[in-house]
Amino acid sequence: MQKEKCSHSWEMIDVTSGLIVMKKCFHCSKVSTCFISHKEPPLDPCHEGGHFWNFMESDESFHFNLKCSKCGTLVKLDELVGLMMCTGCDETCEVDILRRKLELEHTRVCIALGCRPIEERKRLPPEKFAVLQDFFNQRCNSPKSCIKLVPHEMLQEIADCYAEVIKDEDMLLAIAAGDK
Protein backbone atom coordinates (compact mmCIF):
# COMPACT_ATOMS: atom_id res chain seq x y z
CA MET A 1 0.00 0.00 0.00
CA GLN A 2 1.33 3.42 -0.95
CA LYS A 3 1.52 6.03 1.78
CA GLU A 4 -0.67 9.08 1.12
CA LYS A 5 1.20 12.38 0.94
CA CYS A 6 0.26 14.93 3.60
CA SER A 7 -1.22 18.28 2.52
CA HIS A 8 0.64 20.14 5.23
CA SER A 9 -0.93 22.67 7.55
CA TRP A 10 2.01 24.59 9.00
CA GLU A 11 1.97 26.32 12.36
CA MET A 12 4.61 28.35 14.15
CA ILE A 13 6.22 26.77 17.18
CA ASP A 14 9.18 27.69 19.41
CA VAL A 15 8.47 31.41 18.88
CA THR A 16 11.26 33.48 20.47
CA SER A 17 11.57 37.25 20.48
CA GLY A 18 14.95 38.91 20.07
CA LEU A 19 16.98 41.08 17.72
CA ILE A 20 18.33 40.97 14.20
CA VAL A 21 21.87 42.31 14.56
CA MET A 22 23.99 43.78 11.79
CA LYS A 23 27.74 44.20 12.16
CA LYS A 24 30.34 45.38 9.70
CA CYS A 25 33.96 44.30 9.42
CA PHE A 26 36.18 47.37 9.31
CA HIS A 27 38.86 45.23 7.66
CA CYS A 28 36.95 43.85 4.62
CA SER A 29 33.69 45.90 4.76
CA LYS A 30 31.49 42.77 4.73
CA VAL A 31 28.21 42.90 6.66
CA SER A 32 27.21 40.19 9.11
CA THR A 33 23.62 39.43 10.12
CA CYS A 34 22.44 37.19 12.93
CA PHE A 35 19.52 36.68 15.30
CA ILE A 36 20.04 36.90 19.04
CA SER A 37 17.38 35.87 21.55
CA HIS A 38 17.83 38.74 23.95
CA LYS A 39 17.00 42.45 23.84
CA GLU A 40 20.48 43.93 24.39
CA PRO A 41 22.53 44.39 21.20
CA PRO A 42 26.20 43.37 21.32
CA LEU A 43 27.81 46.80 21.17
CA ASP A 44 31.38 45.67 21.82
CA PRO A 45 33.59 44.96 18.79
CA CYS A 46 34.50 41.32 18.31
CA HIS A 47 37.05 39.31 16.36
CA GLU A 48 36.03 36.22 14.36
CA GLY A 49 38.48 34.56 11.97
CA GLY A 50 39.82 37.39 9.79
CA HIS A 51 36.90 39.67 10.63
CA PHE A 52 36.78 42.56 13.08
CA TRP A 53 33.05 43.12 13.59
CA ASN A 54 31.68 46.45 14.77
CA PHE A 55 28.02 46.85 15.69
CA MET A 56 25.97 48.71 13.03
CA GLU A 57 22.34 48.36 14.06
CA SER A 58 19.71 46.03 15.43
CA ASP A 59 15.98 45.66 15.02
CA GLU A 60 13.43 43.86 17.12
CA SER A 61 12.27 40.62 15.55
CA PHE A 62 11.44 37.01 16.35
CA HIS A 63 12.45 33.50 15.42
CA PHE A 64 10.31 30.40 14.98
CA ASN A 65 10.17 26.89 13.62
CA LEU A 66 7.32 25.28 11.69
CA LYS A 67 5.41 22.10 12.44
CA CYS A 68 2.67 20.40 10.44
CA SER A 69 -0.45 20.01 12.58
CA LYS A 70 -1.55 17.04 10.43
CA CYS A 71 1.52 14.78 10.26
CA GLY A 72 3.85 16.29 12.88
CA THR A 73 6.69 17.11 10.46
CA LEU A 74 9.04 19.60 12.11
CA VAL A 75 11.05 22.13 10.10
CA LYS A 76 13.75 23.93 12.08
CA LEU A 77 14.55 27.31 10.57
CA ASP A 78 17.97 27.81 12.18
CA GLU A 79 19.37 29.45 9.02
CA LEU A 80 16.62 32.10 9.01
CA VAL A 81 17.62 35.35 10.74
CA GLY A 82 14.32 37.13 10.17
CA LEU A 83 11.69 38.27 7.71
CA MET A 84 11.43 41.65 6.04
CA MET A 85 8.77 43.21 3.81
CA CYS A 86 10.02 45.08 0.75
CA THR A 87 9.09 48.76 0.89
CA GLY A 88 10.52 49.79 -2.48
CA CYS A 89 13.57 51.71 -1.34
CA ASP A 90 15.70 51.15 -4.46
CA GLU A 91 14.12 50.96 -7.89
CA THR A 92 17.21 49.20 -9.29
CA CYS A 93 17.07 46.38 -6.71
CA GLU A 94 15.86 42.99 -8.02
CA VAL A 95 13.52 42.67 -5.04
CA ASP A 96 11.87 46.04 -5.70
CA ILE A 97 11.55 45.29 -9.42
CA LEU A 98 9.70 42.09 -8.47
CA ARG A 99 7.61 43.99 -5.88
CA ARG A 100 6.43 46.50 -8.48
CA LYS A 101 5.63 43.72 -10.96
CA LEU A 102 3.60 41.73 -8.40
CA GLU A 103 1.89 44.77 -6.87
CA LEU A 104 -0.80 44.64 -9.56
CA GLU A 105 -1.64 41.11 -8.41
CA HIS A 106 -1.94 42.29 -4.76
CA THR A 107 1.15 40.27 -3.87
CA ARG A 108 3.51 41.56 -1.21
CA VAL A 109 7.18 40.65 -1.42
CA CYS A 110 8.93 39.49 1.74
CA ILE A 111 12.60 38.71 2.15
CA ALA A 112 13.82 35.66 4.04
CA LEU A 113 16.90 37.15 5.68
CA GLY A 114 19.62 34.60 6.30
CA CYS A 115 23.00 34.78 7.96
CA ARG A 116 25.56 36.96 6.24
CA PRO A 117 28.19 37.14 4.83
CA ILE A 118 26.44 34.90 2.30
CA GLU A 119 29.56 33.05 1.17
CA GLU A 120 30.61 32.24 4.76
CA ARG A 121 27.35 31.15 6.40
CA LYS A 122 24.80 28.37 6.04
CA ARG A 123 21.88 29.21 3.77
CA LEU A 124 18.22 28.31 4.10
CA PRO A 125 17.97 25.13 1.96
CA PRO A 126 15.42 25.13 -0.90
CA GLU A 127 13.21 22.57 0.92
CA LYS A 128 12.91 24.80 4.01
CA PHE A 129 12.42 27.89 1.85
CA ALA A 130 9.51 26.12 0.08
CA VAL A 131 7.94 25.21 3.43
CA LEU A 132 8.24 28.83 4.60
CA GLN A 133 6.61 30.06 1.36
CA ASP A 134 3.83 27.49 1.83
CA PHE A 135 3.32 28.67 5.44
CA PHE A 136 2.86 32.26 4.24
CA ASN A 137 0.41 31.42 1.50
CA GLN A 138 -1.77 29.11 3.59
CA ARG A 139 -2.47 32.16 5.78
CA CYS A 140 -3.56 34.50 2.98
CA ASN A 141 -7.26 35.28 3.43
CA SER A 142 -7.97 36.13 -0.18
CA PRO A 143 -7.00 34.50 -3.46
CA LYS A 144 -6.27 38.04 -4.66
CA SER A 145 -3.74 38.63 -1.88
CA CYS A 146 -0.63 36.59 -1.23
CA ILE A 147 3.03 36.81 -0.34
CA LYS A 148 6.01 36.08 -2.54
CA LEU A 149 8.99 35.10 -0.47
CA VAL A 150 12.44 35.81 -1.88
CA PRO A 151 15.90 34.86 -0.61
CA HIS A 152 18.13 37.56 0.85
CA GLU A 153 20.71 36.83 -1.83
CA MET A 154 18.54 38.96 -4.16
CA LEU A 155 19.43 42.08 -2.15
CA GLN A 156 22.28 44.02 -3.67
CA GLU A 157 23.48 45.51 -0.40
CA ILE A 158 21.80 44.62 2.89
CA ALA A 159 23.21 47.70 4.63
CA ASP A 160 21.36 49.96 2.14
CA CYS A 161 18.03 48.11 2.32
CA TYR A 162 15.12 49.82 4.08
CA ALA A 163 12.77 46.84 4.02
CA GLU A 164 10.49 46.71 7.06
CA VAL A 165 11.56 44.06 9.56
CA ILE A 166 8.63 41.88 10.60
CA LYS A 167 8.82 42.34 14.34
CA ASP A 168 6.42 39.76 15.76
CA GLU A 169 3.89 37.05 15.04
CA ASP A 170 0.96 39.52 14.96
CA MET A 171 2.67 41.66 12.31
CA LEU A 172 3.46 38.55 10.25
CA LEU A 173 -0.13 37.32 10.39
CA ALA A 174 -1.45 40.81 9.50
CA ILE A 175 0.78 40.87 6.40
CA ALA A 176 -0.32 37.36 5.44
CA ALA A 177 -3.98 38.38 5.85
CA GLY A 178 -3.47 41.44 3.64
CA ASP A 179 -4.06 43.88 6.53
CA LYS A 180 -0.64 45.57 6.24
**Which range has the worst mean pLDDT, 67-71, 104-108, 135-139?**
135-139
Domain boundaries, the chain: 10-177
pLDDT tier at 75, thresholds 50, 70, 90: very high
123-149, pLDDT tens digit by residue?
899 999 999 999 988 877 666 678 899
1-46, pLDDT tens digit by residue?
445 688 899 999 999 999 999 999 999 999 999 999 988 999 999 9
From CA 166, how far away is CA 55, in angstroms rounded?
21
pTM score:
0.89
